[in-house]
Amino acid sequence: MMHWIILPVVLPALLAPLIAFALRHDITLARTASVAGTSILLAIALGLTILAADGTTHVYRLGDWPAPFGIVLVLDRLSALMVLLTSALALVVLIHAVTTGWDARGRHFHALFQFQLMGICGAFLTGDIFNLFVFFEVLLIASYGLMIHAGGKDRMRAGLQYVVMNLAGSTLFLFALGTLYASTGTLNIADLAVRMPEIPIEEAALVRVAVILLMIVFAVKAALFPVQFWLPATYANAPAPVAALFAIMTKVGAYAILRVHTTVFGPGSPGTEDLAGTWLFPAAIVTIALGAFGVLGARRLMPLIAFSVVGSMGTLLVAVAVFSQTATTAALYYMVHSTFAAACLFLVADLVVTRRRTDTLQPEPATIQNGLFAALFFAAAIAMAGMPPLSGFLGKLLVLDALREPGLIGWAWSAILVGSLLTIVGFARAGSILFWKSTATTGPSPEPALDDGAEKDPALDLPPPATARQVAPAMLALAGLAALAVFAGPITSYLEETSAQLFDRQGYVDAVLSPVEER
């Protein structure tokens, strides 16, 4: 049996205590271990993606117990893709945190970071819903620590709100699991997929309650409309690298919705197949609107980006809510794109805010390297807003293309297009205040010279200009977005097969529930 599948969970799980207990007094050692571990994780994820690329669903049975009774990890193309996305993002974010010194502003950053990776990878790989809950808790408890990393009044208060919100969500998750178990007698995803079609529609009331509860829980994670309010405050107050890493956490919610509603409650389950689309689609439309208006109305840079994340989740979930193969392909492409776009924006914003000392959107003296930051922000913002030539445009095009059915086209197209327009306006406003007006307020000097900002406010020792190493992670994320746009053809055909596999319910069930005799 292949043991590679469990490595994305085991490696961070072993590395984190090592960093926390043995290396906590030496930040250099901790950094080395953390970066090395994340690099190895990326290599493993690449290996797993290659392993899964042939379309077989690999199953790892913990303790070799057969599936409905034991715990299984399932590696198919989707989970391999998500693990790869996680590890690539984590490496970029980690390099940023190390080079900018964020990891040294509080304690145990690297240990918490690894625990977070363990939870995220586990959530993507797990094959039953209760372990999904457990891995959610692992990634959440690490994210609580990361969220309040470096402390501060506003951060603590926002962190408290975030923790309470997620604890309430976890309780709801358990209620959903209890209801689901009471009505079906299993929590294994494949087993649920077998039993769900057997439930006649007139007896499905309890299951429908469970499905809606589950959807609310995943919607909390994915920052969907009625329960999105925790996200802007949390992301805006979290340390920027952490907010960049959190870009993948909303995708965990989207992944869970996608996985559960295609494999278990999706087409073929008479009692529940209509539920997700009916409720998800309007909620996602409202989410887009909320994100767009939030971007327009934000008075600080970090909330602005946070609202753009809300908007991108709305776009993603509009595509998910259709549950067709083309729409899922578009959703997956957009998911990869929006993860990197959001992370890139947060990283750039961190570089800017560190040098401006405030992220309020008001004209301030230009920072040194104003042009560089402006260019980076511009590139990241057009990626996020969905302008050509970066992958945001292609992603939104794919989503629009997939939503051509007469019942959807009006709402979806107008929401996405108007939302994009508002997002562009919001970003343009922010960018011009941050980078254009700032050059106008630099004072008597006729041109914004390099040391002008430093003389403007001698009381504050302004941080040194960003070194190449500090800019590199944001550049790397941008390069990823560019690569995503350049190789859109092969990537889309890969994702098409991924969504085909996702909708191949029988293949998943057969792979997971097959008896253990091969080896």
C-alpha 207/C-alpha 219 separation (Å) is 18
CB 57 within 8 A of CB 500: no
With respect to other proteins, which residue has the nearer C-beta, 159 or 365?
159
Sequence-separated contacts (24+) of 103-108 with Cβ below 8 Å: 103/27, 103/30, 103/31, 103/34, 103/241, 104/27, 105/149, 105/150, 105/239, 106/149, 106/150, 106/151, 107/24, 108/19, 108/20, 108/24, 108/145
With respect to other proteins, which residue has the nearer C-beta, 306 or 481?
306
Least distance to other proteins, CB of residue 143, Å: 11
Least distance to other proteins, CB of residue 511, Å: 23
| Cα–chain center distance at 459 | 39
Question: String of b and e for 353-381 (b: at least 16 CB within 10 Å)?
Answer: bbbbeebebebbbbbbbbeebbebbbbbb
C-alpha 139/C-alpha 407 separation (Å) is 38
Least distance to other proteins, CB of residue 304, Å: 10
With respect to other proteins, which residue has the nearer C-beta, 86 or 143?
143
- Closest C-alpha to 253, from 218, 217, 212: 218
With respect to other proteins, which residue has the nearer C-beta, 173 or 373?
173
Least distance to other proteins, CB of residue 206, Å: 10
Least distance to other proteins, CB of residue 236, Å: 7
DSSP per-residue codes, 195-224: HGGGS-GGG-HHHHHHHHHHHHHHHHHHT-
Tokens of residue 367, six digits: 């920072």
Least distance to other proteins, CB of residue 134, Å: 6
With respect to other proteins, which residue has the nearer C-beta, 229 or 378?
229
Tokens of residue 360, six digits: 């309020």
With respect to other proteins, which residue has the nearer C-beta, 52 or 180?
180
Least distance to other proteins, CB of residue 108, Å: 13
C-alpha 351/C-alpha 373 separation (Å) is 8
| Cα–chain center distance at 297 | 23
Q: Please give the residue ranges that form the binding site for other proteins (CB under 8 A).
A: 130, 134, 137, 141, 144, 148, 151-154, 156-161, 163-164, 167-168, 170-171, 174-175, 177-179, 181-182, 187, 229-230, 232-233, 236, 298-300, 303, 360
With respect to other proteins, which residue has the nearer C-beta, 157 or 357?
157
Least distance to other proteins, CB of residue 441, Å: 20
Residue 231: partners with Cβ closer than 8 Å, 6 or more residues away: 223, 250, 306, 309, 310
Least distance to other proteins, CB of residue 303, Å: 5
With respect to other proteins, which residue has the nearer C-beta, 25 or 153?
153
CB 263 within 8 A of CB 322: no
With respect to other proteins, which residue has the nearer C-beta, 300 or 355?
300
C-alpha 167/C-alpha 365 separation (Å) is 42
Amino acid at 326: T
Least distance to other proteins, CB of residue 467, Å: 29
In a 3-state reduction of DSSP, which class is residue 67?
Answer: coil
With respect to other proteins, which residue has the nearer C-beta, 62 or 156?
156
With respect to other proteins, which residue has the nearer C-beta, 17 or 178?
178
Least distance to other proteins, CB of residue 144, Å: 6
Phi, psi at residue 515, to the nearest 5°? Answer: -65, 155
CB 411 within 8 A of CB 417: no
